[in-house]
Amino acid sequence: MTEVPTAYYTGLSAVLFVIGVTGVLVRRNPLVIFMSIEIMLNAANLALAAFGAQFGRADGQVLVFFVMTVAAAEVAVGLAIIVAIFRLRPRLSVDDLSELRW
């Protein structure tokens, strides 16, 4: 169970995080941007769990649990905002949100 070095997990987590950042920067669909944010959160969670296992403590996993709770709340509020903004718009694209007023 303990053969995989922690550095592998950290590297995988970093690459996943960068993929998430690329998705946020490149994509135009707000829902896909949101899913990329979820990938970034999961990358950070993976690093936390890996370090927790490295030191043989469950604290890392408790932190991951909190991050999951915050992510659930964030997804609920964020999706509600996205639906409220884009329900009356013809296109589902963040490029259309260039004006700074409601």
Partner 1 sequence: MALAVFVVAGALALASALGLIIKRNPIHGALFLIVNLGSIAVLYLLLGGQFLAWVQVIIYAGAIMVLFVFALMVLIPGREETGPDPLRRVRLIALPLAALLLLPVVATLAAYRGTAVPRPSAVGGVEAVGWLLFTDYLFPFELTSVLLLGALVGVLTLAKRRTDRGASATADASAPAEERWRAPTADPTGRSDRPSLSEVSR
Contacts (CB under 8 A) with partner 1, residues 65-84:
65-66, 68-77, 79-84
* Using rule CB under 8 A, residue 16 touches partner 1: yes
* Using rule CB under 8 A, residue 10 touches partner 1: yes
Measured CA to CA, the distance from residue 96 to residue 89 in angstroms comes to 9
Task: Give the footprint of partner 1 on residues 27-46 (CB under 8 A).
Answer: 27-29, 31-32, 34-36, 38-39, 42, 45-46
Measured CA to CA, the distance from residue 96 to residue 28 in angstroms comes to 10
Task: Give the footprint of partner 1 on residues 48-67 (CB under 8 A).
Answer: 49-50, 52-59, 61-62, 64-66
Measured CA to CA, the distance from residue 70 to residue 72 in angstroms comes to 5
* Using rule CB under 8 A, residue 97 touches partner 1: no
Q: What is the DSSP letter of 58?
A: S
